[in-house]
Structure 1
Amino acid sequence: MARILDGKAVAARLRAGLAERVAGIGFRPGLVVVRVGEDPASGVYVRNKDRAAREAGFESRTLHLSEDTAEDALLREIAALNADPAVDGILVQLPLPGHIRAEAAIAAVDPAKDVDGFHPINAGRLASGLPGLVPCTPRGVMHLLREAGVKLRGARAIVLGRSQIVGRPMAQLLLGADCTVTMAHSRTDDLPAECRRADILVAAVGRPEMVRGGWIKPGATVVDVGINRLPDGRLVGDVAFTEAETMAAAITPVPGGVGPMTIACLLENTLEAALARRA
């Protein structure tokens, strides 16, 4: 059976290390999460972020705006946060209400405070192999792989999903670690065969249990970024876990795998942004 890559444990160690660093720098890095509307999943996620940030010694707060907030009003709020010297990191919580363009909100954030790593400038720096703030979920996946001792250099990796949030930056990070990377998606010809070639498989397609056990190369490492709620209330990933764990050498569970790493890496980005602004 596959070894379980315990994201909760790795994230706890990362947060503890960040807390030690924050305790030694003489100030509390400031993080502001901007939330618009009442999306229930966002509410839970934001509360978890606030709690983790405060426990690590960060100054964290949420700017919660009403569902009917106009786009230009949101952009003014972001501009004020950009100008606030006490704010080191800004995160615009997605999804936004339909009348607000997510790309406009993301582009409005100062790239130096863009701790989600979504700003076009940070995305461009990542694609060019230059240092910058990296999207939190892909950064968390890299932490998990390295802590588990997974061989990266020369490994064949496949990323299922091509979103700007996970798929594309994930491929860039794996490429930067000297993997041979394939990006795949729902329209890839013979997707199971492509997956069976991979030493490392990262699933981020948002389809419950789409990746079956027969898609997994024996001995591969499987990272499941997906989190989907089934009609019966169960949370499952994009990988059929019970099938995949009989084939893989290592696999992340859902929940408890990648999710905790995302929040820990948000704090890591915030600390890096705070130190860079004061350098």
Structure 2
Amino acid sequence: MSDLTTPATRPADTASGPERGRRIDGKAFAVSLRKQIAADVVAFHAEYGVTPGLAVVLVGNDPASEIYVRNKALETHHVGMRSFMHMLPETTTEAALLTLIGRLNADPEIHGILVQLPLPNGIDARRITNAIDPKKDVDGLGEVNAGRLSLGLPGLIPCTPLGCLMLLQSELGNLRGLNAVVVGASNLVGKPMALLLLNEGCTVSIVHIDTINPQALTRTADILVVATGVSGLIRHDWVKPGATVIDVGITRVPTASGKTKLVGDVAFDEVAPIAGRITPVPGGVGPMTIACLLQNTLTAARLSLSESA
């Protein structure tokens, strides 16, 4: 990872010049990443005779989740991996789901397991997540991988924060010494994102629902990552000039024409002229999530070989 310049000068450099308002093209980055993964899968199979396999489990018939899961399966095939789909009815019990996970844990052809969230009422998502073998936990949400991340140890990292980090490193190079603020403290994005940035040498703050005067914190950020699910929360006066803004939020809102559109947690039109770099919605962080899921599956396949050696 290259160092662009010293930490003391980089924030000022990003606040001026032609970089102002630069869109970070997550879609193009994800395409490039998937191409690299496909090449790595070919090389992996040639060396070890193993094709990485990803099992995705969906409980219930939520249409949006079904589309998302099928897209994951398609992308898995496109990079040369094997996809195993398990579409379970809404009436599936927690015990039945745990039995399935036990079988997938024991299956040597399965290297990654993902249980699509949210789960129906009556199923303990935390218990299900922790039942997945940590070496196959490609969502990185189990307690073992979360603990390894908190200690700065190698492990499987949640896909969306990993994608955000890749975009930041691509844009800024070495992140050491930069002030980073994460808005949102969820286990899915906010907390792991903060830990990743801390492990990269950033000075990290987290803004959450009980934070007093959050704008005062966000205006100090050289890196601002927003993951709240509140559309348009971040306005122009929340952002330091020249900051790099990563918008994880995605909400479908109605338009004047009666149709709908996707928007993020950041008021893009207000913030883009102030930010040095910014991810759009759609086309920013979203495409990175599935690409990083595929990357984690390949990583998990490599881990399975080291465990069996």
Tell me the TM-score normalized by structure 1: 0.98
SS at match of 1:69: coil
Counterpart for residue 179 of structure 1? 202
Q: How far off its partner does 1:147 sit?
A: 1.1
- Pair 1:150–1:214, CA change in 2 (3 A): farther
Q: How far off its partner does 1:150 sit?
A: 5.0
Does 1:137 find its partner at 2:160? yes
2:146, 2:63 → 1: CA distance?
28
Does 1:154 find its partner at 2:154? no
Counterpart for residue 61 of structure 1? 84
2:172, 2:44 → 1: CA distance?
30
Q: How far off its partner does 1:151 sit?
A: 4.9
Instruction: Kindly provide the CA deviation profile for residues 194-243 of structure 1, in whole angstroms up to 9, marking residues without a partner as x.
Output: 11011000000110110111111000000000001113411100000000
Give the gaps of 5 or more residues in structure 2: 1-19
2:236 maps to which of 213, 217, 225: 213
Counterpart for residue 38 of structure 1? 61
1:43, 1:250 → 2: CA distance?
33
Does 1:50 find its partner at 2:73? yes
Counterpart for residue 237 of structure 1? 264
Instruction: Kindly provide the CA deviation profile for residues 26-55 of structure 1, in whole angstroms up to 9, marking residues without a partner as x.
Output: 221000001000122211211111111110
Q: How far off its partner does 1:190 sit?
A: 0.5
1:15 maps to which of 11, 18, 34: 34
SS at match of 1:264: helix
1:263, 1:139 → 2: CA distance?
11
Counterpart for residue 250 of structure 2? 227
Does 1:201 find its partner at 2:219? no
Q: CA RMSD in A?
A: 0.9
1:257 maps to which of 284, 296, 309: 284
Identity %: 54
Tell me the TM-score normalized by structure 2: 0.89
2:275, 2:174 → 1: CA distance?
14
- Pair 1:151–1:21, CA change in 2 (3 A): closer
Counterpart for residue 87 of structure 1? 110
2:148, 2:249 → 1: CA distance?
26
2:122 maps to which of 99, 102, 121: 99
Q: Which letter does structure 1 place at the counterpart of 2:121?
A: G
1:75 maps to which of 98, 104, 126: 98
2:175, 2:208 → 1: CA distance?
22
Q: How far off its partner does 1:59 sit?
A: 0.2
Give the gaps of 5 or more residues in structure 1: none
Give structure 1 regions of 4+ aligned residues with deviation exceeding 3 angstroms: none
1:6, 1:32 → 2: CA distance?
29
Counterpart for residue 272 of structure 1? 299
Counterpart for residue 248 of structure 1? 275
Q: Which letter does structure 2 place at the counterpart of 1:138?
A: P
1:43, 1:255 → 2: CA distance?
19
Q: How far off its partner does 1:61 sit?
A: 2.2
Instruction: Kindly provide the CA deviation profile for residues 57-91 of structure 1, in whole angstroms up to 9, marking residues without a partner as x.
Output: 01012100000101111110111100111000000
2:177, 2:102 → 1: CA distance?
43
Bigger CA drift: 187-196 or 112-121?
A: 187-196
SS at match of 1:278: helix
Counterpart for residue 163 of structure 1? 186
Count of residues paired in the alignment: 279
**Larger Rg belongs to:** 2
